[in-house]
């Protein structure tokens, strides 16, 4: 029998199946061969099926995934920190502080309590400009759902949510200086009106807390809150605020055994309370009709904190161009941001329109003219050098440094009487070298309104290019010419301001004209109240 077997015939289908079965083995061998070779030219491409499987196993990382991951990390971190903050003992921050800096000194209230002091005279607080809270009582359609919500103070949430609506409600009428039609924004009442300006930014809160340590409470403390945007006399005309302060002081004195009140005004509140003391003793209807001895009967003492009796130069920058110190800081941090018209916010124009409708700001224009603040070549601060804080040194070193500083001050004398100067060279040059053209009778010319802010009212629109050039050509302004400058730049604003405030010096205080309320907040044009100091 033959040992050779006959092979079975192979069909075409079997060939194809064998070829397909052997193909992966060949590809694996070729890949191994290519790897051993190490040359890129001999490598073979991966088949499309394997590529698809590889892509399915590793999905692409999209931009949306990155955003979700980032937001998730922030949320987890936030909730973790919030949990730790709530779980932390209340004394932990103080413990950490004391561990770093050593034991903290006792607060003033604790020291006074240890010394045996207790509450005696009732205390009245008078907040200054911008520090008192304001809330909405009536508004436009854009302010729906905000009844009795704070529009000023607190978190200032509405500034970010609806800025144009907020500006509209915080602005006053340009003709009357009172509420626009359909809008009522009123001061918050109680101690919460000005304890904190914003979260973490205290005004009266620390003083209230320290007084509470020696026995004071709400029945012995009173916050004389008022709408700080209005002129002083208009707070009485609209809200009867002066009458309310009078009644509350009488009440707090009567309910505390007749002990007279100690009044603590701050900033513009100093001027406001000076106006109140003149108003309360003046006869009705202009005054409160309390009689000439009302203050001596109800007020023990007045403790003024930072009172701008003679005005403040920084108020000029805010009224003239809205370029106050805070605006300058923002410009330094983010140049060009405030001038940007993105979303048509026109930030500076809106700030100027709003702040110029607040008549109270004109109470802080410098008073007394050149007699108080100085002229082009002199000022009360003449020869003073703004040097850095001195270290403790012996008399010889101090004398030597004083001689050097006096020599420097003579060569570089600052002209403090020049409150506004157009250019550093003008600010430092002798008056004989400064050529000035009077602006008072200048023709304002054609309107200089910017088309990007035509819907925002500012009185710069009425000045024209001729008026702007005239202001610049005068070059430098003293306290006396600044009042004329504001009349030229913002006549409507100053018409309201001069009806409620004065900026001069009285020649004769017995003149009957000084009985008008516009002089009551100017200590240079009114007789000060005499408080009878009795135990």
Residue-range domains of the chain with CATH: 80-117 (no CATH), 119-302 (3.40.50)
128: which 2 tokens?
């200054």
Q: How confident is the model at residue 81 (pLDDT cuts 50, 70, 90)?
A: confident
Q: What is the pLDDT of residue 50?
A: 52
Q: Rounded distance, CA 366 to CA 373, Å?
A: 8
- State how far the alpha carbon of 260 is from the alpha carbons of 128, 209, 220, 269, 296, in Å: 23, 21, 11, 20, 9
Closest C-alpha among 361, 347, 380 to residue 493: 361
Measured in degrees and rounded to the nearest 5, phi and psi for residue 496 equal: -70, -40
Q: pLDDT tens digits, residue range 173-195?
A: 988 999 999 999 999 999 999 99
3-class secondary-structure state, position 223: strand
> Burial letters for 241-279: b for 16+ Cβ neighbours within 10 Å, e otherwise?
bbebbbebbeebbeebeebbbebbbbbbbbbbbbbbbbb
Show contacts of 459-462: CB within 8 Å, 24+ apart.
Answer: 459/356, 459/489, 459/490, 459/491, 459/492, 459/493, 460/352, 460/489
Q: Rounded distance, CA 169 to CA 180, Å?
A: 8
Work out whether the CA dihedral 510, 511, 517, 519 comes out positive or negative: negative
450: which 2 tokens?
């910017």
DSSP strand pairing (261-265 vs 299-302)? parallel
Q: pLDDT tens digits, residue range 325-350?
A: 666 666 666 666 566 554 445 677 78
Q: How confident is the model at residue 84 (pLDDT cuts 50, 70, 90)?
A: confident
Range with lowest mean pLDDT among 26-35, 319-328, 425-434, 522-531: 26-35
Residue 380 has pLDDT above 80, yes or no: yes
Range with lowest mean pLDDT among 6-20, 156-170, 178-192: 6-20
Terminal-residue alpha carbon distance, the chain: 148
Show contacts of 281-290: CB within 8 Å, 24+ apart.
Answer: 281/529, 282/515, 282/517, 286/516, 286/517, 287/517, 288/242, 288/243, 288/246, 290/246
Higher pLDDT, 393 or 232: 232
With beta carbons less than 8 A apart as the criterion, state whether 377 and 417 touch: yes
64: which 2 tokens?
């949306």
With beta carbons less than 8 A apart as the criterion, state whether 131 and 194 touch: yes
Query: What are the start-end ranges of the E strands in 192-298?
Result: 196-198, 201-202, 221-223, 261-265
Q: Rounded distance, CA 197 to CA 325, Å?
A: 18
Q: Rounded distance, CA 363 to CA 315, Å?
A: 9
Query: What are the start-end ranges of the E strands in 61-160?
Result: 123-126, 134-138, 150-152
Q: pLDDT tens digits, residue range 430-464?
A: 888 888 888 888 777 665 554 444 455 567 667 77
User: How much is the average pLDDT of 405-434?
Assistant: 75
Residue 226 has pLDDT above 90, yes or no: yes
Q: What is the pLDDT of residue 44?
A: 46
Q: What is the pLDDT of residue 452?
A: 47
- State how far the alpha carbon of 17 is from the alpha carbons of 9, 23, 29, 484, in Å: 15, 10, 19, 105
- State how far the alpha carbon of 253 is from the alpha carbons of 14, 124, 194, in Å: 115, 11, 22
Out of 59-68, 395-404, 429-438, give the one with best mean pLDDT: 429-438
């Amino acid at each position: 029998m033959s040992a050779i077997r006959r092979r079975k015939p192979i069909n075409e289908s079997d060939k194809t199946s064998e070829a397909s079965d052997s193909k992966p083995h060949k590809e694996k061998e070729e890949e191994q061969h290519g790897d051993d070779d190490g040359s890129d030219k001999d490598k073979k491409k991966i088949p499309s099926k394997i590529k698809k499987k590889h892509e399915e196993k590793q999905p692409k990382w999209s931009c949306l995934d990155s955003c979700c991951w980032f937001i998730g990390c922030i949320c987890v971190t936030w909730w973790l920190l919030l949990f730790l903050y709530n779980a932390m003992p209340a004394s932990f921050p103080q413990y950490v502080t004391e561990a770093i800096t050593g034991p903290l000194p006792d607060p003033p209230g604790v020291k006074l309590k240890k010394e045996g002091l207790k509450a005696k005279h009732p205390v009245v607080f008078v907040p200054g400009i911008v520090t008192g809270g304001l809330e909405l009582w009536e508004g436009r359609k854009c302010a729906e759902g905000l009844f009795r919500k704070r529009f000023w103070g607190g978190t200032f949430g509405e500034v970010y949510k609806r800025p144009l609506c907020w500006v509209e409600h915080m602005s006053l009428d340009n003709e009357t200086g009172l509420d626009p039609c359909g809008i009522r924004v009123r001061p918050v009442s109680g101690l919460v009106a000005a304890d904190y300006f914003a979260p973490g930014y205290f005004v009266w809160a620390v003083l209230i807390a320290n007084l509470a340590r020696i026995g004071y409470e709400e029945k012995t403390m009173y916050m004389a809150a008022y709408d700080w945007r209005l002129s002083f006399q208009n707070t009485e005309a609209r809200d009867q605020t002066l009458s309310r302060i009078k009644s509350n002081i009488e009440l707090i004195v009567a309910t505390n055994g007749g002990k007279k009140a100690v009044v603590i005004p701050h900033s513009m509140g100093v001027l406001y309370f000076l106006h109140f003391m003149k108003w309360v003793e003046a006869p009705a209807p202009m005054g409160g009709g309390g009689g000439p001895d009302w203050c001596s009967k109800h007020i023990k003492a007045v403790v003024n904190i930072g009172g701008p009796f003679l005005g403040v130069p920084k108020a000029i920058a805010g009224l003239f161009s809205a370029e106050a110190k805070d605006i300058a800081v923002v410009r330094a941090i983010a140049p060009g941001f405030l001038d940007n018209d993105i979303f048509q916010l026109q930030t500076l124009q809106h700030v100027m329109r709003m702040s110029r409708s607040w008549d109270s700001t004109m109470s802080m224009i410098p008073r007394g003219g050149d007699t108080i603040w100085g002229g082009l070549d002199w000022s009360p601060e003449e020869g003073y050098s703004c040097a850095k804080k001195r270290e403790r040194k012996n008399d010889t070193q101090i004398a030597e440094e004083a001689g050097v500083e006096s020599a420097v001050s003579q060569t570089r004398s600052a002209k403090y009487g020049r409150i506004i100067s157009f250019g550093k060279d003008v600010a430092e040059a002798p008056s004989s070298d400064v050529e000035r053209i009077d602006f008072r009778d200048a023709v304002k010319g054609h309107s200089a309104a910017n088309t990007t802010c035509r819907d925002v009212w500012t009185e710069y629109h009425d000045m024209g290019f001729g008026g702007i050039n005239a202001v610049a050509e005068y070059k430098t302004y003293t306290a006396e010419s600044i009042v004329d400058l504001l009349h030229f730049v913002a006549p409507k604003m100053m018409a309201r301001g001069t009806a409620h405030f004065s900026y001069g010096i009285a020649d004769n205080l017995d003149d009957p004209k000084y009985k008008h309320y516009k002089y009551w907040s100017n200590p240079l044009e009114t007789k000060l109240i005499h408080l009878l100091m009795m135990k």
